[in-house]
Amino acid sequence: MTSTDEAAQLAAFEALTAGTATDPNAGSGPKTDINLDVILDVPVTLSLVVGHTRIPIRNLLQLNQGSVVELERAAGEPLDVYVNDTLIAQGEVVVVNDRFGVRLTDVVSPSERIKRLR
């Protein structure tokens, strides 16, 4: 995919989420039948955050194999699930066929996700 294709897909997505999508074959009025197929193949980055901490560089340089870094989250608290740096859900770690996965326990509503994109 070229950067021109990506830019066109991003522009279409922004128009759709802003409610200003128009049908290129129609007049200049808003499109009532939104076709999301144009953005379904756009890759996104999914990140799971276990927790955060702040440590001085001095302590960071002393880390080695076996070191333990304490996070601000308590054991058992849900992970944060981000898509392109936007929080979309919280969940818990699961094992699926010897691989880690995440079971979503609380999902941000679609309208709230769209608000956070802007």
Amino acid found at 111: S
pLDDT per residue of the chain (118 residues) written in tens, 0 to 9: 455 555 665 666 666 555 544 444 444 555 556 788 888 999 999 999 999 999 999 999 999 999 999 999 998 899 999 998 889 999 999 999 999 999 999 999 988 877 776 6
- Please report the pLDDT score of residue 108 as a whole number: 92
Boundaries of every domain in the chain: 1-42, 44-118
**DSSP letter string over the chain?**
--HHHHHHHHHHHHHHHHT--B-TTS-SSBPSS--GGGTTT----EEEE-------HHHHHT--TT-----SSPTTPPEEEEETTEEEEEEEEEEETTEEEEEEEEE--HHHHHHHH-
Q: pTM (2 decimals)?
A: 0.61
107 Cβ contact partners less than 8 Å away, ≥ 6 residues apart: 88, 89
Q: What is the pLDDT of residue 50?
A: 93
Give me Rg for the CA atoms of the chain: 20
- To the nearest 10°, report the CA torsion of 71, 77, 83, 86: -80
Q: Which CATH architecture has domain 44-118?
A: Roll (2.30)
